[in-house]
Each structure stands twice: as C-alpha cells, then as structure tokens.
Structure 1
Amino acid sequence: MRILLIEDNDELADTILDRLRSEGHAVDREADGAEADALLHHAQFDLVLLDVNLPGRNGYEILRALRSRGDTTPVLMLTARSEIDDRVVGLDAGADDYMVKPFDFRELSARCRMLARRRSGLASNVFEAGPLRFDRAARHATLAGRDLDLRAREVQLLEILIDNLGRVLTKEEVADKLYTFDQAPSLNAVEQILARLRRKIEGSTLLVRTARGLGYLPYLADDD
C-alpha cells in the first residue's frame, strides 16, 4: 500500500515508518497539519494514518476537508484522546477507524490490512486465483503450493493488482503506489517488476493485460 502518515511525534513516527516499511509498504510522512492538508489536495494514497493534535492544522480539520472534496481514501485516526466524545467526533468527521495511543503495532498493521481489504471488497487476507495463493498478512505467495519467493517490490505490485481487479492502471499510478516521494522510480523499472511478476504467477488465473497507451488491466481469467 501507499500510505501517508501524518504524525508530529518523531519517535512514534519513526517506529511506525520502520514497522510498515518492513512489511513492504511505501510510506510517506508529514509532521505539519497544514502541509499534510496541502499534499492531500494533489497526491493520492491508499491509506492515511492521521494524528489529531498537529501543528498548522488539526486532524479533524484535515479529515473534514478531505471528505468535503469527495475523497474516500480510508483514514485511520491515531490519537491520545480516549474519551468517547472525541472518538465520535472523529468517526462523524469521516474516519474509517480509530486507535488510541499507546497501541500495539501488530494491531496497527492488522487494522491497515482490514481497511485495505474493505476498500477492495475483500473479506479475507488470503487471496486465491487458481493455484495462486497470496496471504496479505504474511506477505507470502505460493503457486500450486510452491513458494514464489517474491521480492519486496513484487509483493507490493501483486497487492496493487489484486486491489484493482478490473480497473486500468496507468504506469504512473503503479509507480506512485510502489514508491515514496524520497525514491526515484522509473517507468522502465515498473515494467521490469511487472515482467518478473508475470513470469512467477504464470499458470494462475490472475492475468495482467497491457492496454496500449493506457496502462495495465489486472483481471481474473474467469472474468474474461
């Protein structure tokens, strides 16, 4: 997933970044609320982790502005506020989930996966397409019981394809989901990663059609 973390506590932010990046997610971080709000006007993410007490602009204001623009990106609120009224305010403002600090990082990871599944319409962490089996929680894929030994970027790309079945993705969209702002991706690198992944999942019913001039269309063979 491409995730934006909006958190002004450096120590907590570094721990969250280390955790989520170790799981293969592309995560950017903003510490200032006003700068984060400006970023969300022109950049797309799969998930936003949003603190409430921020310099510049608080989390509730950022969330309300996001929803007022019709942006449905899942938002998980991270806050030290534990009172019921505060949670109600956040949920009514458009938050999809809410975690009170301090929290267990295993639970944070699980809630991120849950929100990704919900947006994709999937009920389980396990995705199957013919002999292909991908466990989102374990970040592990097998084909007919054989470990595919996917590289980190290939796991990321596989997840992107699964989450966008039946939708054409431009190369630029794929690159944006694979890499953070600090990284320098190339469209050629995206093509190479896709080529390797296609070879590894050959024989499954998950296929990727190249739409000339448009991008890539992931789909299941049974839907063809």
Structure 2
Amino acid sequence: MLNVLLIEDDFDFAETVGDYLELESIVCDYASNGVAGLQLVGENAYDVILLDLNLPRLDGLSLCERLRAAGNDTPILMLTARDRLDDKLAGFEAGTDDYLVKPFELKELVVRIHALAKRRSGQIRVLRCGDLEMNLKEGSVVRAGRGIRLSPTGWKILETLLRASPAVVSRQKLMDAVWGETPPDSNSLKVHLFNLRKAVDGPFAMPLLHTVPGKGFAVKAEDGS
C-alpha cells in the first residue's frame, strides 16, 4: 500500500482527491499549508508528495527547494492551475519530478503516483548526515569543511548509504546498487568499505559508517540523523 502526502490549501479539492485515493488503496495524509506539510515530511516517510504551488505560510516552490536542499529524495508531483511553460520550468528547477495541471482526471493522478513511487527522486542535489555532505551536482564530498576524495566505487557505496540514511542497507542490496548483475568477488565490498570508512571516519572522532551485525550497513550520526 502506498503512502502519499497531499499539501493543498483547497479543502474541498483535497477531500475529493483523498477520498478517491482511498478507493485506490492509497493512504493520503493532508496538510493545508506549507509549514504543516514540511513538518509532516519530517515526521513520516512517504512514497510520493503531492504539492500545490499557491500555499499559505510557505509556498510550494520554496517547500520543494527546502526538501531538496535537506537531501530529501521523495518524489514530488506538483499540482497547480499554472499551465505556462515558465511555471513548469520553475517547478522543475525547484526540484519537482512531475507536474500535473488542474483540472485533471483523478485516474491520471493515480497512474502518475504509481509511476513516481517506483523510484526515488533524481532531483536531489545534496545528501547529508551529521557534518558529512555529498554534493551530487558538484561531485564533491565534504565533512566538517574538509574535502574527502573517493574512488568511483566508494562514491557509489556512500551515495547508496546516504540515500537510505539512517536506515540499514543489507549487504545484498548494497552490492546490487553498486555492481548490479555483475558482482565482484566476495572480498571486494569488504575492501571498499574499509577504504571508505578510513576516508569518511578516519580523521574524525565520531564514526558515521556503521556495520550492523546480521543486517548490513548504515550511515548515521549518534543522534540518528
């Protein structure tokens, strides 16, 4: 069952959408303004965020930009009456993954939700955990202001762990994400993780890269962030 968040200030419209999604076995949380929506995103995990542009307290573009700047890669579908090309370009620049102009058929909304829910957003620019920051656009990794150099494989491993952070990634899922259908010998992951831990944690007092016995690996700070 999918879980989505609808951030929309038109209550009647939101109620119509929510009722229809429920019939399609999609659980829909609701926020009537941008600040409330931002809070719900911080408290819950969603498969897709449905985001209106004209919102009180915090508009949709600003909310989208904040989520992407914070490293949130939940797919975002903007719902708006603005149909000009410039408006759509502004939405994609802010970090949305898809754009649906009102009025629209609810069946189409469901199809787009299912399509977006199959992947994480490609619009994310920065991944963070504690004082560690990976800038996907610039291709750089920094911890506490200090640049970190990684091998291409080390980069893929760290990106996979940061995208899941603070959750644990199993050994098999990590290998599938990095090497796909052509995994290396059994010692390669161990060696790459050793080198990654040396680069990311070696010069610092607090470790971020953790081995969770029997479960896999995780990047997380002591406070869980």
Output the TM-score relative to the length of structure 1.
0.53
Partner of 2:145: none
Task: Output aligned runs, 1:74-93, within 5 Å.
Answer: 74-93=75-94
Q: Are the aligned partners of 2:75 and 2:119 in contact in 1 as well (CA < 8 Å)? A: no
Partner of 1:172: none
Mapped partners of 2:33, 2:69: distance in 1: 20
Task: Output aligned runs, 1:87-126, within 5 Å.
Answer: 87-119=88-120
Partner of 1:27: 28
Superposed structure 1 runs of 4+ greater than 2 Å apart: 117-120
Mapped partners of 1:27, 1:59: distance in 2: 18
More off after superposition, 75-84 vs 35-44? 35-44
The answer as to 2:32 corresponding to 1:57 is no
Partner of 1:10: 11
Mapped partners of 2:117, 2:41: distance in 1: 18
Measure how far apart 1:71 and its partner are.
0.6
Which secondary structure state, in structure 1, belongs to the residue aligned with residue 49 of structure 2?
Answer: strand
Mapped partners of 1:76, 1:50: distance in 2: 6
Mapped partners of 1:119, 1:57: distance in 2: 24
CA RMSD of aligned residues (A): 2.3
Which secondary structure state, in structure 1, belongs to the residue aligned with residue 43 of structure 2?
Answer: coil
When residues 10 and 119 of structure 1 are mapped into structure 2, their CA distance, relative to the original with a 3 A threshold, is: same
Task: Output aligned runs, 1:123-138, within 5 Å.
Answer: none
Which secondary structure state, in structure 2, belongs to the residue aligned with residue 103 of structure 1?
Answer: coil
Amino acid in the other structure paired with 1:93: A
Mapped partners of 1:116, 1:45: distance in 2: 9
Point out where structure 1 has 5 or more consecutive residues left out of the alignment: 121-165, 168-211, 215-224
When residues 118 and 40 of structure 1 are mapped into structure 2, their CA distance, relative to the original with a 3 A threshold, is: closer
Query: Larger RCO: Structure 1 or Structure 2 (Cα < 8 Å, ≥ 6 residues apart)?
Result: 1
Which secondary structure state, in structure 2, belongs to the residue aligned with residue 99 of structure 1?
Answer: strand
Mapped partners of 1:30, 1:78: distance in 2: 14
Which secondary structure state, in structure 1, belongs to the residue aligned with residue 9 of structure 2?
Answer: coil
More off after superposition, 37-46 vs 4-13? 37-46
Matched residue count: 127
Mapped partners of 1:27, 1:55: distance in 2: 20
Identity %: 42
Q: Which whole-Å deviations, capped at 9, do the CAs of 1:25-57 have from their partners, x for residues lacking one?
A: 111000011111122223221110000001111
Measure how far apart 1:119 and its partner are.
3.9
Amino acid in the other structure paired with 1:53: N
Q: Are the aligned partners of 2:77 and 2:97 in contact in 1 as well (CA < 8 Å)? A: yes
Output the TM-score relative to the length of structure 2.
0.52
Partner of 2:47: 46
Measure how far apart 1:118 and its partner are.
3.6
Amino acid in the other structure paired with 1:78: L
- Higher Rg of the two aligned structures: 2
Amino acid in the other structure paired with 1:49: L
Amino acid in the other structure paired with 1:97: D
Which secondary structure state, in structure 1, belongs to the residue aligned with residue 78 of structure 2?
Answer: strand
